[in-house]
Amino acid sequence: MEDRWRPGIPAFRASHGGFCLTAQDERGAILDSSQLLALVALIEMENGSGRLAVPSGASAAVDLVAAGYDGTVLRLDRDGKPARDLYAAQPWFWSAPSAAARICARMGVSGQKLDALISKTPRFSSWRREVPLSSDRGRVMEAMVREQGRTCGGEGLRVHTGGGWVYLVPLARRSALRVVGEGPDLEIAAELCDFYAGRAAQLDRAISEQCAQGRDKK
């Protein structure tokens, strides 16, 4: 394993305190953390475990990989203690060195290069926006959840719609929502992201107006 790229040799890099892995394959193509997470998920499914746990905001590509093996994906915000226990037992899903070692081991066993392994994972593009809010972010999230016919569970909302996925989550340090659209191409990802960001902004305005009307009546 190399930490500095040279032609024909993959390079892996850890960041964010060792919790985020990126890489360059043998041809120099940049592989982001979502692509590598999907690859580690594929390895886990091929190894026959059938179950894996990932953070709440992990790419929907992981779900696609697991679905191809009738596997189960647990998410930390949604699935409680079973997800936390499984996540702790699978360090390659949260430790960059463990993930890199897992990938290199598969390369060694299979005789395949990194670019060949990554080609087996779903091709996903993502687009993200932040929506500033003037009303309570919890109420906006509740309204979004109700519109989707869901019940509140975990910190965010994940929606499969229009050929892609959307993930909405309130930001912790300021009154805003993060909206992430994912799809087979950038156009679909951006369209989904923009649509749900726009809807969140509409609901925020409506809630703000309701609050203002309530204050006026007092």
Same domain, 114 and 148: no
Domain boundary among 95, 118, 141: 118
Is position 78 within any domain?
yes
Assess whether pLDDT exceeds 60 at residue 94.
Answer: yes
Same domain, 32 and 110: yes
Is position 85 within any domain?
yes
Assess whether pLDDT exceeds 70 at residue 1.
Answer: no
Same domain, 146 and 172: yes
**Domain limits at 17?**
11-118
**pLDDT at residue 218 in the model:** 57
Assess whether pLDDT exceeds 90 at residue 205.
Answer: yes
- Helix, strand, coil content of the chain in percent (nearest 5): 45, 25, 30
**pLDDT at residue 214 in the model:** 66
Domain boundary among 74, 95, 118: 118
Question: Token pair of 49, please?
Answer: 């475990």
Residue 133 three-state SS: coil
Query: pLDDT > 90: what percent of the chain?
Result: 69
| Main-chain dihedrals φ then ψ at residue 122, nearest 5 degrees | -60, 140
**pLDDT at residue 152 in the model:** 57
Same domain, 15 and 106: yes
Highest mean pLDDT among 15-29, 48-62, 88-102, 197-211: 88-102
Q: Of 119 and 49, which is predicted with more confidence?
A: 119
Chain segment 138-159, per-residue pLDDT in tens: 899 999 998 887 765 567 888 8
Assess whether pLDDT exceeds 70 at residue 217.
Answer: no
The total of structural domains in the chain comes to 2
Instruction: Choose among 23, 43, 25: nearest CA to 33.
Output: 23
Assess whether pLDDT exceeds 90 at residue 111.
Answer: yes
Alpha carbons 141 and 59: distance in angstroms, whole number: 20
Alpha carbons 202 and 205: distance in angstroms, whole number: 5
Q: Look over the chain and give the mean of its residue pLDDT values, rounded to a whole number.
A: 90
By residue count, the chain amounts to 218
Q: Are 21 and 104 in contact (CB under 8 A)?
A: no
Q: What is the mean pLDDT of residues 160-186?
A: 90
Same domain, 137 and 49: no
Assess whether pLDDT exceeds 80 at residue 115.
Answer: yes
Q: Look at strands 176-183 and 164-170 and give their pairing.
A: antiparallel
Chain segment 185-201, per-residue pLDDT in tens: 999 999 999 999 999 99
